[in-house]
Amino acid sequence: MQKKNRVLIVDDEADFSETLAKMFKRRDIDAVTADCCRMALEKLKDGEFDVVIMDVSMPPGLDGIQCLAQVKELWPTTEVIILTGHASVSSGIQGMQGGAFDYCLKPIDFGELLEKIELACEKVRITRGR
């Protein structure tokens, strides 16, 4: 039996991340939230995640691009999908150049995000030999 996909949602907008987590759980995806990069890194130390969904803009402290670099350095087989609320795709492209699997613009299209998560999780399964 294949285990549930495990996703960490990192966003400083608590209502957004909690709503997203509930939507994922209804689709049998194990979702955990963090409101900043520091908290995300702590949660990653405590358990294995397949995908991190991370907002680019998160004051205070590290932004999503800086956090992405740490995630990819410490957990190279964990995939990251960048979320950006800016009208420009430049943050998404910057994230892809930094090792992100993909990016989505806010407001998100939930179906599109689900597809990207499935593809990222498939890559993780192959990379980790599951």
Can you list the alpha helix ranges (DSSP code H) found in 47-100? 64-74, 90-97
Q: What is the pTM of this model?
A: 0.91
C-alpha span between 4 and 121 (Å, rounded): 10
Number of separate domains in the chain: 1
Domain of 76 in residue numbering reads as 6-128
C-alpha span between 32 and 43 (Å, rounded): 9
Q: Where residue 18 sits, what CATH number does that domain have?
A: 3.40.50.2300
Q: Is residue 1 situated within a structural domain?
A: no
Q: Is residue 19 situated within a structural domain?
A: yes
pLDDT of residue 27: 94
pLDDT tens digits along 3-60: 789 999 999 999 999 999 999 999 999 999 999 999 999 999 998 999 999 998 877 7
Amino acid (1-letter code) at residue 13: E
pLDDT tens digits along 84-99: 876 556 766 777 788 8
Strand partners for 97: none
Q: Is residue 107 situated within a structural domain?
A: yes
